[in-house]
Chain A
């Protein structure tokens, strides 16, 4: 089976302190993987490593033939200015960036696709609303509509359902499962373990180092989760130099 991302002994971190310590494994093409673990366990750092925003401190991380524009990435919301005067439709249309780029016009067909995407995430008729008027859940739906248009083979989601009500997260989860059905590779950081058990075939449990990685049923066991909680949050200012790995 081919892999989208192959990691061998990858360490990612900040200021030489590892946030993801010696991770080895691969995300198979077309797989649907949940990444779970306590806060501070390196889940977001892992996604930043996968899209290439953070270079590994050690080890090898290969994106097998993927271009930057093949990966859609939904960060935790911090960076978006939600008071910006832009309409829902214009936000969703940015999903066409690969074809419209800096200055090509949006075609009528592309506009229709955007309307269909809004319909698919349950925001039919919201096109003309300014994004400032949306609730957190509605705004997350807008970002999912934009990802639908991006039409990427690989999709990385960082806590997409945090602070979002059950109905919205159920709707958006259906979109995620749909992506899996279309053969796309999806990696999602999640906290709701029932949601993971029901919908995600594969799971990676993290606690600054990998605890377990494989089929969800095998991996999501009490002893793994307990170990993850114990191992997390051990930043040490005077940690010695790690001697494991390639260097």
Chain B
């Protein structure tokens, strides 16, 4: 993978489906609950695709994220996916991912997803422990998660990813390991394991601010991170990003990697971000407003930024050093005293060098937020 923006890889297409049955108390992604605008949204997304994505491509990824895309009715989902297939061009082997909630999964819809041509399902199981699921405000039970995964495995698309959340008060290392074991019982191709973050504009964030909800201590967070990494790495998974693990490097999330190396991505739907040629833009964060704007001119952009060369380089560092791809030695060489800093980081055990690349170690992942600060981009 190149450090250069774009790097010539095909672009990726993202659709933000902004609906949920209920808001999870930790989640700060944009979504609306109980909206009657689902079919209007699907129409608008297709119209926006015509405006922004039709002439581009072929895309080699389509990612339906949210929100909760599985909230869409089977018809609505089919209209969206088939519509995008008509409006945009995709490579034959495109990775097409759908994020789903366990309580939306039945053998029937799993089968439908496969028939629609989706080839990757990301199941938001989060945990397989009853108490933890309740704490996380999830609608499904542990049993429900197991049933959903069975259905996906039996009837759904071939490629399975499971999301887990860990690292909060009340979770034991045993239950964390048990959740990982449960996930592995479905032979997943991919795992995303996120340490719980108390985002300010969420229920958890507010409870934290009021002192009602404690964050884990740094040492405990570190321990949790290492338990997760160790448990998954010991199954020979590829720890290719801070929170992401793939059975082999071939089943890494192709779409998400585009974000991490400045490949062009087009984001459709409210609050979606797009990136192309050093310019990033984002859509309005409101479903009705989004629908109205797109109806008008096919576009719902409300903000954008053009990155300076220096900003692109900073992002290259920050994104690269979160992944197993790291940054190239050539790139490090273009930074003032870059190789000296790399040498210091190697000495400190935070990165390794090899194959022309500077790659964070597990310790490096643990301290990734501070790594870009070690380099002077002036």
Are these two chains actual partners, yes or no? no
Residues of B that sit less than 8 Å from A by CB = none
Interface residue ranges, A against B (CB under 8 Å): none
